[in-house]
Amino acid sequence: MAAPFSILEIKKRRNIKGRGNIMESGIKSSLQKCPAAGRCGGCDLQGVGYDQQLAQKNRQLKKLLSGLATELYPIQGMDDPTHYRCKVNAAFGLNRKGKPVLGRYEKNTHHIVQTPDCMIEDERACEITQAIYSLLPSFRIRVYDEDSGYGFLRHVQIRRGWATGQYMVTLVCTDPVFPSKQNFVKALRTRFPEISTIVLNINDRHTSMVLGERSITLYGKGYIEDQLCGSTFRISPGSFYQINPAQTQRLYETALEYAGLTGREHVLDAYCGTGTIGIIAAKRARQVTGVELNRDAVRDAVWNARRNRTENIRFIKMDATEYMEQLSAGRGGLREGGKRPDVLILDPPRSGTTPRFIEAAARMRPDRIVYVSCGPDTLARDLKLFRKKGYQAQKAQGVDLFPFTNHLETVCLLTHNG
Ligand code: SAH
């Protein structure tokens, strides 16, 4: 673990370490500005070298957390910050001349920008989307036209298992009947044998949502798997899974290091999603409870726990604040596992958690609270409330999950003053 830093120090340390590749890739990425920069909604930091991006994020965190966190550690960046997105969504449409086009939506519009050499998306996934595009004429597949509502193929989503190398292709279409589907599957699989499943998702509504509710598996199991910190997780077309698993693993490792588990603790994993953090933590804890509001995520979490033969974890589908209040009022026993947590891990959405959650959490006096945040502003806001309730942030560290964007993940350890 690196020592806490001042901005000057961090600059020095990175030079001393001589991480030549990072420097080079930082310089390279600042030179090779994407032709779609400023139009495509994908990157905010095009043209900014990677070292500068990290320094910028460090400064942002330092400003937000100074006076709130006792120690701030330098952000963990990527050795190669390009092509990290393991989930690629591409939209089909017609250009002004009525010719099919494939690309990403322009920022805040539904106008398609062609981005064949995207700098942050998985390269193989981009090749697969291009191959699908080139197969369209021979299969007489018409792309969907948003204006008229006619056409068949709307989107393609590619997801890659980072550790497993499995690829899932989801074709979002307006109709459940896919023309010559066997031949289409064969044509794709011949070129890309790493595609382990192909799913047809039906979305016939005039909506900006990519996926519709119904899916039909055309090939394989209908889902892929990936591994993080030695556990296996299922990724279905609609399930939430961090798009940068390499950095997610570092994020979770830091969170677990902060959690300081010895095998005896009761852990509460609030906002647990598909159970990833809790399942990994369960290997080093006595009992874990995951709380999550989204029904599909809870279903995936239960599946993931079974897949990993994790028996000391349970999931509760409930609003995290309500659960905390019930638990702190001693009514957690209403549902099995309602014990006071020794360690509380929370990973809320960008909007952060609630004052009521913080109040109830503090009342239970967990030994350690690990706050995993994807919104630095709300993290700072919530840390202030925690401090009022006697919990001080001992250390914090950023992890760069989204190079070339302004997004910033942070892990923070809080302990009670008394
Ligand atoms: N810890 C998980 C997911 C974090 S994303 C991971 O690392 O993958 C935040 C999660 O909080 C989402 O799954 C979202 O569905 C859930 N969520 C949002 N509001 C919630 C609430 N009020 N109560 C419980 N869960 C909530």
Nearest CA residue ID for atom 3, ligand 1: 273
**Sign of the alpha-carbon torsion through 124, 125, 128, 133:** negative
Residues 6+ apart with CB under 8 A from 149: 206
**CB of 336 shorter than 6 A to ligand 1:** no
pLDDT the model gives residue 30? 47
Q: How far is the CA of 347 from the centre of ligand 1 (A)?
A: 7
pLDDT the model gives residue 44? 87
Asked whether the beta carbons of 91 and 154 are under 8 A apart, the reply is yes
Domain boundaries, the chain: 87-228
pTM of the model: 0.90
What stretches in the chain show pLDDT beneath 50? 1-3, 5-31, 334, 336
Active-site residue, 118 included: no
C-alpha distance from residue 236 to each of 170, 199, 260, 263 (Å): 10, 10, 32, 31
Tell me whether strands 224-228 and 231-235 are parallel, antiparallel or unpaired: antiparallel
pLDDT the model gives residue 117? 82
pLDDT the model gives residue 278? 98
- Integer Cα distance of 70 and 392 in angstroms: 8
pLDDT the model gives residue 10? 39
Local structure of 56: helix, strand or coil: helix
pLDDT the model gives residue 116? 76
Q: How far is the CA of 95 from the centre of ligand 1 (A)?
A: 38
pLDDT the model gives residue 331? 66
Q: Tell which one of 292, 304, 371 to mutate to probe ligand 1, the residue whose CB is within 8 A of the most ligand atoms.
A: 292
**CB of 409 shorter than 6 A to ligand 1:** no
Q: Tell which one of 250, 271, 291 to mutate to probe ligand 1, the residue whose CB is within 8 A of the most ligand atoms.
A: 271
Long-range pairs for 188-193: beta carbons < 8 A, 24 or more residues apart? 188/128, 188/131, 188/132, 188/135, 189/219, 191/131, 192/124, 192/127, 192/128, 192/131, 192/167
Residues forming beta bridges with residue 370, ordered by sequence position: 345, 413
Say which of 34, 40, 173, 374 is annotated catalytic.
374
**CB of 293 shorter than 6 A to ligand 1:** yes
pLDDT the model gives residue 32? 64
**CB of 320 shorter than 6 A to ligand 1:** yes
Q: What is the CATH number of domain 87-228?
A: 2.40.50.1070
Local structure of 176: helix, strand or coil: coil
Q: How far is the CA of 363 from the centre of ligand 1 (A)?
A: 22
Nearest CA residue ID for atom 16, ligand 1: 271
Q: How far is the CA of 378 from the centre of ligand 1 (A)?
A: 15
According to DSSP, residue 316 is labeled E
**CB of 292 shorter than 6 A to ligand 1:** yes
Residues 6+ apart with CB under 8 A from 99: none
**Alpha-helix runs per DSSP H in 75-167:** 123-135
Asked whether the beta carbons of 288 and 263 are under 8 A apart, the reply is no
Q: How far is the CA of 279 from the centre of ligand 1 (A)?
A: 15
According to DSSP, residue 141 is labeled P
pLDDT the model gives residue 312? 97
**CB of 349 shorter than 6 A to ligand 1:** yes
Tokens, residue 263? 């095998």
pLDDT the model gives residue 337? 55
